[in-house]
A and B are shown apart, each in its own frame.
Chain A
Amino acid sequence: MVRGWKTVLTVAGLAVLGAVPSVAIAQDNMQSDSMKKDDAMQDSMKHDTMKRGDTEPDKNRKALFTGTFHGKVHSTSGRATVYQGAGGKRILRLTHFKTSNGPDVHVILVAARDVKDDANSLSGNVERIELGKLKGNEGDQNYELPENIDLGKFQTVSIYCERFNAVFGAAALAKF
């Protein structure tokens, strides 16, 4: 009987050890990619000048791209906007944002014009850039973009559950 207990403990221990690393490995599929310079960045106000108030602390801050979220499997809404600061650093900001909570949900950029609302529409071949774990399923939040990402190529923001390869929602970015 004592040997039986040991066997069971070993089996149970192995089951836990076996399950955890497979999940851990599943999180490492993201690869950052593309080192091309971004041409779309050189957009400038052309004819009318922007109306401005008297004080102007950060003249270079501007919204580059924006789009609204759609998502059916897990209802997702809100806006995604890419800002550029004075130093050239780019930040993705989600506003009026709402989606489902879930396990292992990430914010990614996808090299596609848009992503379909099907749950598993992101097949393995699509290039993607990891921006980080979703900070909250509701509310305004910022994500830093790695340098040198070509936003002419990575045109879609997606809320993506890596564990189940499920697209919660997506926003196609258009020039602001």
Chain B
Amino acid sequence: MTLALETRAVVKKYPAGAGTVTAVDEVSFSLQRGEFVALVGPSGSGKTTMLAMLATLLRPTSGEIIIDGQDLTSMSQAERTRFRRRRIGFTFQANNLVSYLTGLENVELMLRLNGELNAAGRKRARELLVLLGMEERMRALPRQLSGGQQQRVAIARSLINQPSLVLADEPTASLDTERAFQVVETLANLVHEQDRAGIMVTHDLRMVEFADRIIHMLDGRVERTITPQDDLVCLADPAACTVIPMDTLGFEGAGMAEPAG
């Protein structure tokens, strides 16, 4: 296993009135290539801020973020933009696609931005979309695609540049159950198969079964790291849970949810 990501005592503070608010407090963890991790926690726990820092969209107040051996915190704005374009794949909760580009053009956009839109790149984009079950719809515009199809195109776009790190922010937020499972399972499988490192922020308890690890954040800190195998039973049956207080996980309707599969 190769180390893809390492965070060392990462802190992010925001000015608030006369003082500051600490959104992320001394967070340290690491990710191996081929590992898919779910980042969970209630609203305000700092997970989205953490994701934004991993995506080089925010600078940490202190600490280090190292991806593929490169410290992001010492990079200039232009270097971070270039790094993000080449080494990080991103899937958002919504507004994922450029509305006036077809699915295929959205995927190819990443190749264009990196100056790699050649015959091989085009072929790779088509193959990736076929792999994601989009062979019939790759020339449709986003408004002609369902939410699940849009997210699959977004996943293809996040993977087309063969990034080291794939980030997904609530990728199933606007999807029904069936499509949500399809999307996350596909994302997890591709991260495993293509040997990327993947982090998914989610509020949906059912989706963590596809993660190799769950990093649980609370009040800006990593509360604990758990594995779905250990804890899905606990999550599904609060009465049997002796390890994790369910209400701290930040899952929507966690007490009623059934573990998938």
Same complex: no
